[in-house]
Structure formats: structure tokens, C-alpha cells
Amino acid sequence: MWHFSFVLVKGLVAKRLLIVYFSGEGSTKRMAEEICEGAEQSGVQVEVKNVEECKLDDLVEADGIVVGSPTYFSNVAWQIKKLIDESIELYRKEYALRAKVGGCFTSAGTRRDGKDCIRLLELTFGFHHRMKIVPGIISTSGDEETQVSEICQQYGEKIASCLKARMSI
């Protein structure tokens, strides 16, 4: 699913946010869509991609990157792990993702398992790639759908705010 929005504000070009996710049963995809909605409402250009459609150049071209995965045994889905492993090429290219705004999200069976998954994503993109990470969010199987939607939209707004704070003329 692709979402595009473009905003020009007083000569400023909107920042570009890439939301890349894998979803086994649809929960993580819904989170990605809600995060997109929150960021778009804040005036950021957003592209949502399934990880299988994502190329390393997509990461480089974006001003901000949010990565989402279901949690499997306290870990990310292998499809997201594959992207992480491939991203070492960008790490070797003088930290091609350095200083980009980043974020992460997961849908998990339990909050404890979700926290482990978020830690891995934050470590990969925040520490290794030296991105500016907005702390990740977790949805668990017992959460109300309306609450998850609200949290995701607020997260999208927060990511957008961080991107806009880095806006240049």
C-alpha cells in the first residue's frame, strides 16, 4: 500500500518519511497506516512500504525512517531482520543513515516481548546507524483497537514534529 502526500509551506519543502513494515496477520500493517495518518496530518510527505518492496536506496532517500515488525519470540520478523542485515552496506558507506530521524513499532503478544523487539530495532538504527531515534511504541494483543489507533497517530505526529524541526530551506 502506498501513501503519498506533499506539502509546501512558505518555501520549505516537506520532509520525507518512509514507513517500512512487515505484517503477518495485519496488526502491524494497521499500525503503519495509522502512523502514516498522524504524520500526514502534520504536513510530512509519507511513503508506506511493505519490507519486501523496500530497497536500501529507499532508506537513503528518506529524511526519516520508521520500521515496524510483529514480535516473534521477543525478536523481529525475519523479513525485517533481512533488511537490517542488508543495511550494513549503508553502515559501511560512511553511515549513510546518520542523523536521520528514526522510529520503530511492534505488535506483540505481550508487552515484555514487545519491549525486547523495540530494543533491537532501536539498537540497530539508533546506535549502529547513528540515527536520532524517537522511542518506539508497542501494541499488544489485549489492547483496544481505538487506543492503538490513537497511540499510532500520536506517534506519527511526534515523528513528523522531529522531522519538521530539522527542516531546511
- What's the pLDDT at 5? 45
Sequence-separated (6 or more) residues with CB below 8 Å from residue 97: 59, 60, 65, 87, 90, 91, 125, 129, 130, 131
For 83-128, the pLDDT digits (tens) are 999 999 998 888 899 999 999 999 999 999 999 999 999 998 888 9
Q: Which residues of 29-42 are buried (b: 16+ CB within 10 A; e: fewer)?
A: bbbbbbbbbbbbeb
- What's the pLDDT at 126? 84
For residue 53, count CB atoms less than 10 angstroms from its CB and return exposed for 0-12, middle for 13-18, buried for 19 or more. exposed
For 6-63, the pLDDT digits (tens) are 444 444 556 899 999 999 999 999 999 999 999 999 989 999 999 999 999 999 999 9
Sequence-separated (6 or more) residues with CB below 8 Å from residue 151: 137, 139
- What's the pLDDT at 10? 45
- What's the pLDDT at 94? 80
For 39-52, the pLDDT digits (tens) are 999 989 999 999 99
Q: Which domains, and CATH codes, for the chain?
A: 8-164 (3.40.50.360)
**Which residue, among 82, 75, 74, 73, has the nearest Cα to 20 in the 3D structure?**
82
C-alpha to C-alpha distance for 153 and 116, rounded to whole angstroms: 22
**Which residue, among 86, 67, 88, has the nearest Cα to 76 in the 3D structure?**
67
- What's the pLDDT at 7? 45
Average pLDDT, the chain: 90
